[in-house]
Amino acid sequence: MEHFIRYDGQDLYIGPVLDTVSKEFFKIHGRRPYDSIKVFQKLVDEGKLTMVSEGVYRYDPSNNNVEACRVAGSEQYPG
């Protein structure tokens, strides 16, 4: 989630984000994330991210559940 907060309001393509998130997750946990795409969908379902189009996501504090993002933390939702 931190990755999206860093680029709030910008459209981010899933490919480069998955690469960055996977590297950060590996540094923290010593393994690759199991299914990152499902994590993105869960964040959309919870209102923490907006799916702009197929493979494009955006974090916008004015539209997304900012407080839920702070509570979730990066341990549960890498990136």
* Percent above pLDDT 90 for the chain: 0
What string of DSSP letters covers 3-71? HHHHTTTS-EEHHHHHHHHHHHHHHHHSS--S-HHHHHHHHHHTTSSEEEETTEEE--TTTS-HHHHHH
* pTM for the structure as a whole: 0.62
Domain range annotation of the chain: 2-73
Task: Write out the chain's pLDDT in tens, 79 residues.
Answer: 677 778 778 888 888 888 887 888 888 888 887 777 787 788 888 888 888 888 898 888 777 665 544 444 444 444 4
Question: How does pLDDT run across 23-42, given as a tens digit for each residue?
Answer: 888 888 888 877 777 877 88
